[in-house]
Amino acid sequence: MNKGALALLVHGGTDNWSPERWKTRFEAVCGGRPVWRIPDRDCNPADVHYAAVWKPAPGELAAFPNLRVIFNLGAGVDALMADKTLPRVPLVRISVDDLTMRMTEYVVLHVLMHHRQELYLRACQREKRWEPRVQWAANAISVGIMGLGTLGSAAAGALRHLGFRVSGWSRSPKNIAGIECFHGEGQIDAFLRQANILVSLLPFTPDTRHILNRGLFAKLNRNSPLGAPVLINAGRGGLQNEADILACLDDGTLGAVSLDVFETEPLPSDSRFWTHPKVILTPHNAADTDADEISKYVAQQIERFEAGQALENVVDSARGY
Catalog residues that contact its own copies under the rule CB under 8 A.
15-16, 98, 101-102, 104-106, 108-109, 112-113, 115-116, 118, 121-122, 124-125, 128, 130-135, 137-138, 158, 161-163, 265-267, 269, 274-275, 279-285, 288, 290
284 annotated active-site: yes
Q: Which residue among 37, 209, 214, 284 is the active-site one?
A: 284
Give the residue with the Cβ less far from its own copies, 4 or 238: 238
Cβ at position 246, least distance to its own copies in Å: 15
Q: Which residue among 102, 236, 272, 319 is the active-site one?
A: 236
Separation between Cα atoms, residue 167 and residue 195, nearest integer Å: 8
Backbone angles phi, psi at 49, to 5 degrees: -100, -25
Give the residue with the Cβ less far from its own copies, 108 or 247: 108
DSSP characters over 192-235: HHT-SEEEE-----TTTTT-BSHHHHTTS---STT-S-EEEE-S
Identify which of 210, 257, 202 has the alpha carbon closest to the alpha carbon of residue 230. Answer: 257
Cβ at position 163, least distance to its own copies in Å: 5
Q: At what angle do helices 150-161 and 97-115 cross, to 10 degrees?
A: 50
Q: Residue 267: what residue type? A: L
Separation between Cα atoms, residue 155 and residue 107, nearest integer Å: 6
Give the residue with the Cβ less far from its own copies, 130 or 172: 130
- Alpha-carbon radius of gyration of the chain: 22
Cβ at position 190, least distance to its own copies in Å: 28
Cβ at position 315, least distance to its own copies in Å: 25
Task: Return the C-alpha torsion angle 264, 266, 268, 269, nearest 10.
Answer: 160
Give the residue with the Cβ less far from its own copies, 285 or 317: 285
236 annotated active-site: yes
Supply the residues annotated as catalytic. Answer: 236, 284
